[in-house]
């Protein structure tokens, strides 16, 4: 049921504009411009991104993860390979990302194929995590049903004892993924919902990016 409060909830986006002639030729450079601004204004969790995957039946699912690196090869995040998203990516190694920075009235959509990072890359990142975060990778059977909160706390204590006085190694079932984009879309909110949408796409990695304006 839609209430009048929902129907009348409106925000007028008036903080910026975006035009084909003003964006970078390369979408990674354009991402860097916007991401730099998100960092500069001290947003809460500017690294947060929604990742959408699909299961074997085509059912999509989405959740927020943290971007832990990006360069011209793609965008990196880490997770449990045996989680729901891990199983879905094993079946269909394609994903969509979404960054939304409300104070800037901007969002970025990214789509592409997904690949696992090399074990050495995952090892290097895992070693930098706080010890408690490394222990939780062992303690939490991500996405599976557990009896209660106490079970998870017991598991944490179990692995604290197991690794007491020693380094916590990376579990084989935990590591990184890289999303290798073939499409970007940069969205800038505008007044009266006539938003600016600039898309970049290419069919193969070696091809030049095609830049187009999309209707809102």
Which single residue is written with the structure tokens 């590591």?
Answer: 175
Across 34-89, the runs of DSSP E, i.e. the strands, are 48-54, 60-66, 69-71, 74-80
Q: Where are the domains of the chain?
A: 13-128+174-214
Q: What is the pLDDT of residue 216?
A: 96
pTM: 0.93
Cβ neighbors of 80 (< 8 A, separation 6 or more) are 86, 137, 140, 141, 142, 143, 173, 174
pLDDT per residue, tens digit, the chain (216 aa), is 556 666 677 788 888 999 999 999 999 999 999 999 999 998 999 999 999 999 999 999 999 999 999 999 999 999 999 999 999 999 999 999 999 999 999 999 999 999 999 999 999 999 999 999 999 999 999 999 999 999 999 999 999 999 999 999 999 999 999 999 999 999 999 999 999 999 999 988 889 999 999 999
Q: What are the C-alpha distances in Å from 98 to residues 31, 63, 179?
A: 12, 10, 12
User: Looking at the domain 13-128+174-214, which fold is it?
Assistant: Pnp Oxidase; Chain A (2.30.110)
Q: What is the pLDDT of residue 82?
A: 97
Give catalytic residues, as residue numbers: 193
Q: Return the closest-CA partner of residue 209 out of 19, 121, 200.
A: 200
Q: What is the pLDDT of residue 13?
A: 86
Q: How many CB atoms are closer than 10 A to CB 201?
A: 16
């Amino acid at each position: 049921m839609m209430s009048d409060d929902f129907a009348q909830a409106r925000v007028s986006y008036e903080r910026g504009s975006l035009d084909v002639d003003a964006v970078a030729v390369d979408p990674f450079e354009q991402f860097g411009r916007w991401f730099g601004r998100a960092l500069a204004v001290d947003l809460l969790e500017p690294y947060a991104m929604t990742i959408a995957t699909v299961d074997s039946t085509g059912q999509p699912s989405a959740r927020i993860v943290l971007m832990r690196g990006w360069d011209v090869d793609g965008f990196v995040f880490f997770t449990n390979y045996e989680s729901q998203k891990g199983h879905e990516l094993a079946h269909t190694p394609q994903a969509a990302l979404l960054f939304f920075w409300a104070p800037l009235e901007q969002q970025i959509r990214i789509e592409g194929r997904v690949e696992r990072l090399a074990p050495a890359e995952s090892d290097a990142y895992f070693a930098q995590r706080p010890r408690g975060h490394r222990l939780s990778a062992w303690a939490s059977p991500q996405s599976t049903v557990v009896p209660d909160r106490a079970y998870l706390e017991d598991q944490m204590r179990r692995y604290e004892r197991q690794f007491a006085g020693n380094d916590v190694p990376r579990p084989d079932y935990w590591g990184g993924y890289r999303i290798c984009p073939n499409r970007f879309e940069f969205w800038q909110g505008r007044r009266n919902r006539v938003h600016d949408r600039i898309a970049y796409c290419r069919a193969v990695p070696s091809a030049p990016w095609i830049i187009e304006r999309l209707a809102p």
